[in-house]
């Protein structure tokens, strides 16, 4: 099992397959690198080197009692890219992973980065504030923490069964295998990491991070995202970026890399080859 040890002693599990241009995947909350299986196999077959890690407290990485914030997430990613000595990498982040990618590039620079992709990503800021009136009220995230604390296993069945993949929409055909795989990944991780992570992904303001990024960034988002609402995320991020391109998917849910993998993979491939 491949791991690196960060300066604070945290072991970060990662996968590293293939050769060629490196594509680095950052997963969403509360999942693991396994959530990228479809993308990693696809891009491996297209001749890319594919890399994905389990965020601290998630998957097979150390269940640390603290450090569940965007600074540590970005620093852990930087430690991984330095360990692998990546050059000209394309960073792809889904949901919380999109915040991780943005904060990594802003905090550590783009010397190792060629491009980035934000998919259903949390930037610029999810929580409602005076400066972000279109955000979600803090009570929404307080409720998520309460459900996690009360019965994490039930909570981790309900979320993928409903809004995460849009399986609660009329005419949707829920996939028990997808739901079970989401639950499996979530339950592998630490309840403490996931509890704290809700604050990290909802209250971190990425506005200045986005403004500082000059590499090309593709922002991909479904307009039926029930987890990270479209209007207060993707269009604002694309506008803040120096070289951002917005691609909107009509009717696609938050978990579109899984449910609409063929479409997402094809568009990612076009961007990587452009």
Q: Tell me the three-class secondary structure of the chain, residue by residue.
A: CCEEECCCCCEEEEEEECCCCEEEEECCCCCCHHHHHHHHHHHHHCCCEEEEECCCCCCCCCCCCCCCCHHHHHHHHHHHHHHCCCCCEEEEEECHHHHHHHHHHHHHCCCCEEEEEEECCCCCCCECCCCCCCCECHHHHHHHHHHHHHCHHHHHHHHHHCCCCCCCCCCCCCCHHHHHHHHHHHHHCCHHHHHHHHHHHHHCCCHHHHHHCCCCEEEEEECCCCCCCHHHCHHHHHHHCCCEEEEEECCCCCCHHHHCHHHHHHHHHHHHHC
At 232, the pLDDT band (50, 70, 90 cuts) reads very high
For 41-89, write each residue's pLDDT tens digit: 999 999 999 999 999 999 999 999 999 999 999 999 999 999 999 999 9
pLDDT of residue 210: 98
Q: What is the mean pLDDT of residues 93-119?
A: 98
Nearest CA to 241 among 95, 124, 111, 140?
Answer: 124
For 124-180, write each residue's pLDDT tens digit: 999 999 999 999 999 999 999 999 999 999 999 999 999 999 999 999 999 999 999
CA dist., res. 164 & res. 225, Å (int): 8
Catalytic residue among 26, 32, 61, 95: 95
19 token code pair: 């050769």
Query: Whole-structure pTM over 0.95, yes or no?
Result: yes
Nearest CA to 102 among 80, 124, 76, 128?
Answer: 124
Residue 23 · residue 101 · CB < 8 Å: no
For 178-226, write each residue's pLDDT tens digit: 999 999 999 999 999 999 999 999 999 999 999 999 999 999 999 999 9
Catalytic residue among 161, 225, 232, 233: 225
Q: Check the CA dihedral 208-77-75-193 and report its sign.
A: positive
Residue 66's alpha-carbon distances to 35, 136, 195, in angstroms, are 24, 25, 11
Please, what is the Cα angle at 61 between 90 and 205, to 5 degrees? 55
> Rg (Cα) of the chain, in Å, rounded?
17
72 part of the active site: no
Residue 1 in this model has a pLDDT that exceeds 90: no
212 part of the active site: no
254 part of the active site: yes
């Amino acid at each position: 099992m491949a791991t690196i040890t960060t300066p604070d002693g945290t072991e970060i599990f990662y996968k590293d397959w293939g050769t060629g241009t490196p594509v680095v995947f950052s997963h969403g909350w509360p999942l693991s690198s396994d959530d990228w299986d479809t993308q990693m196999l696809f891009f491996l077959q297209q001749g890319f080197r594919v890399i994905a890690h389990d965020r601290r407290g998630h998957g097979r990485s150390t269940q640390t009692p603290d450090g569940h914030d965007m600074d540590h997430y970005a620093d852990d990613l930087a430690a991984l890219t330095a360990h692998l000595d990546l050059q000209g990498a394309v960073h792809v982040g889904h949901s919380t992973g999109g915040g991780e990618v943005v904060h990594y590039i802003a905090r550590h620079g783009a010397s190792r980065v060629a491009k980035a992709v934000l998919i259903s990503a949390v930037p610029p800021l999810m929580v409602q504030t005076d400066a972000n009136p279109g955000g979600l009220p803090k009570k929404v995230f307080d409720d998520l923490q309460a459900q996690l604390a009360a019965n994490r296993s039930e909570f981790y069945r309900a979320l993928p069964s409903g809004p995460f993949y849009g399986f609660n929409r009329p005419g949707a055909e829920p996939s028990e295998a997808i739901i079970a795989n989401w639950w499996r990944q979530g339950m592998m991780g630490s309840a403490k990491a996931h509890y704290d992570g809700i604050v990290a992904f909802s209250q971190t303001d990425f506005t200045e991070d986005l403004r500082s990024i000059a590499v090309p960034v593709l922002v991909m988002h479904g307009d039926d995202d029930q987890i990270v609402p479209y209007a207060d995320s993707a269009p604002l991020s694309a506008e803040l970026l120096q070289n951002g391109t917005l691609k909107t998917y009509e009717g696609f849910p938050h978990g579109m890399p899984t449910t609409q993998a063929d479409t997402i993979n094809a568009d990612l491939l076009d961007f990587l080859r452009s």
